[in-house]
Amino acid sequence: MKKQNIVLTGFMGTGKSTVGRLLAERLGYDFVDTDELIVERDGRSIADIFRESGEPAFRQWEARVAQELSQAVGLVIATGGRMMVDEANAQALQKNGRVFCLTADPHTILARLEGDERRPLLNVSDPEAQIRLLLAARAAAYGRFPQIATDGRTPEQVTDEIVMFIQGGGAAVKTTRLPVTHPTGRYDIIVGENLLNQVRELAQIAGEFVVITDDRVGPLYAHRCAGATAVITVPSGEQYKTLDTVRTLYNELLQVGLDRQGTIVALGGGVVGDMAGFAAASFLRGVDFVQCPTTLLSMVDASVGGKTGVDLPQGKNLVGAFKQPTAVLADISTLYTLDPAEFASGMAEVVKHGLIASPALLKILETGDWRLAAPTPFASVNLQSLVLQAVQVKRDVVEEDPFEQGRRALLNLGHTFGHAIEQVSGYAVRHGEGVALGLVAAANLSARLEYCDPALQSRIEGILQRIGLPIRIPAEFAPEALYQAMWHDKKKAAGKLRFILLRDVADVFIDGDVAETAVLATLHALQA
C-alpha cells in the first residue's frame, strides 16, 4: 500500500527539519528538507541564491522541487517557510501528502534563529518586526492546514502530537457546521475532530485572542490553540464559578493587554464557558467570545445559546448575561480523555434533548447503538453523530427563543430538581448527575399529576441506568431542604416555582402552579 507523504510547513524557526527527522524515524519514512535539496541541486547556499540570482530564482527552484516530490511516496517533507504559501506548490504536495503547519510566536522564533546567518529575509534592522510582518502576510495560507504549536515544547512532544493525528485521524471525520441565527447576527457550531489546532481560522479571529481554561483542561489542550496571546488558567470546579474568579480574570486580561478588538476563547467545560463568557460580556463593555467546549455536557448544551454567568451562595447562575459566541468549536477528540463518570454526566443532557424534541435520538440511546467497544467507548463517527443530533435540538430551540421568553425554558427539563440537588450536595453531585435525577423526578411528578403514563418514568430510568447515571436521590438530601433550595433557583416566576413537565416524549410544557405537597411527594418517592 502506498504511504501518504507527511508535509510540514510553517515559518522558519518552528522546527520543521528537526521534527521532520524524528517523525520520519518514527514512521519508517525517508526524510527530505526542501531547502537542503535545493542547495544540493543548485550548488549554492540559499543566501547566495538570493544575493546572486534574486528571490524569484529561489521560488522557481521551490516550484520544481514541489512538482518532483508530489510524485514520490513514503516521505516526510520539511518545506521552506514560504513554499506552501504558493498555491501551485500547495496543491502539488497535497495530492499525495497530509500537511501540518508548525507554529511559534515571534519572540520564540527570533530566539531560535539567533546567530543563524542563513536567513536572508531576516537580514534587517528589526528582525522581530519583520517576523511579525511576514507571519501576518502568510496567516491565511498557513491557516489552511492543521496547526501544531511548538512554543515551550520539545521536538519529541511535537512529534508525538503529529503521530497521534496520523494514527487517530487516518479516516478523519468530516467537519460539520450548524448555523445559528440570533437577533444580532449568526455563528456556526462546528463539530469535528482536531479543531483546536485551527481555532483562529475556523472561528475567523482577526486580532489577538486569549484562552481561558482550567487547571485540568489547560495542560491537555491549551497548547493546541496556536497563536494565543496568553493562556489564563482558573481552578476547576463549580465552587470556583464566582464573582471573585471573574474579578481575577479581569485583572489578568488587563495585564496581558487584551483590547476591544481582541477575543476571549473559552477552553473547557460548562463552568469555564460560563465564566469566560460572562467576562467577555462585561470586560471593556464586551469583546468577542469563542466557545471551545471540551466536555460532552458543554458541547451539547452549555456552549450554545449565549447564556453566561456565575453562582452566588444562594444558588446557581444568579448573576450573568446573554453573550452570543462568534463560533462554537466542538472538537470531539477532546472527549476521549474524559473519565467515564464525566462522559456519563454529559449524556444526561443528551437524554434531556431526546425527551424534549427528538424521539429518534432517544431511541438510539435506548437501544445502545451509540456504544462501541474499547479502547475508546465511542468511535468518532458515532460520537460526532450523537453530538450533532443533540446540539441540533438546542440550536432549534434557542433560535426560536434566544432570550428565554417562551419555549427555551423547556431546555430546563429536570433542572429545577437537578440544581437543588447540586446545591444541597455542596456541588459534590455533578451537574449531569443532578439533571439525570431531575429527569426522573420530572417524569414522576408528571405522572403524579396525571399528565403522563407512569411507564415514561420507567423508560427514562432504563436509559439512564444503561448509561451509568443515578436514578435515586441520596438519602442524606432531605426533601424539605431540596424544596427550599428550589426557591433560590432563577426559574421561578410571579412568586411561584416553575416546573418543566412531560405528557410524552417530545411533548413537554411549563407548569407554574404545582402544589408543594406534590413536589415533596415526588422527592420522598425517589429517595434511595
The catalytic residue positions are: 285, 307, 349, 394, 404, 408, 412, 415, 419, 431
Looking at the DSSP assignment, which residues form a beta bridge with residue 6?
76, 98
The count of residues in the chain is: 528
CB 472 within 8 A of CB 526: yes
Bridge partner list, 147:
101
Q: How far is CA 86 from CA 60, 63, 121, 143, 214, in A?
A: 11, 9, 17, 13, 39
Distance CA 358, CA 505 (A): 8
Cell of 188: 456556526
Give the list of residues 6+ apart from residue 331 with CB closer than 8 angstroms, or none: 192, 193, 194, 195, 196, 292, 294
C-alpha closest to that of 331 among 178, 162, 146, 196: 196
Give which of 407, 397, 402, 389 is closest to 500, Cα–Cα. 407
Helices 340-357 and 431-448: crossing angle in degrees, nearest 10, is 40
Round to whole Å and give the CA distance between 94 and 74: 13
Neighbours of 186 (CB within 10 A): 11
d(CA 292, CA 195): 9
DSSP H/E element including 246:
helix 243-256
**Residue 271 contacts residue 430 (beta carbons within 8 Å):** no
Report the distance separating Cα 228 and Cα 492, nearest Å. 41
CA-derived radius of gyration, the chain: 26
> Do residues 302 and 352 make contact, with C-beta atoms less than 8 angstroms apart?
no
Reading the block at residue 51, the C-alpha cell is 544575493
Three-state DSSP at 115 gives coil
Q: Are strands 288-293 and 230-234 parallel, antiparallel or unpaired?
A: unpaired
Stated as kind and residue range, the H or E segment containing 316 is: strand 315-322
- Phi then psi for residue 213, to 5 deg, are -145, -175
Per DSSP, what are the bridge partners of residue 230? 210
Three-class secondary structure of residue 11 per DSSP: coil
Angle at which helices 46-53 and 34-42 pack, to 10 degrees?
60
If you search the block for the grid coordinates 534592522, which residue do you land on? 125
Residue with cell 531576516: 122
Phi then psi for 31, rounded to 5 degrees? -110, 135
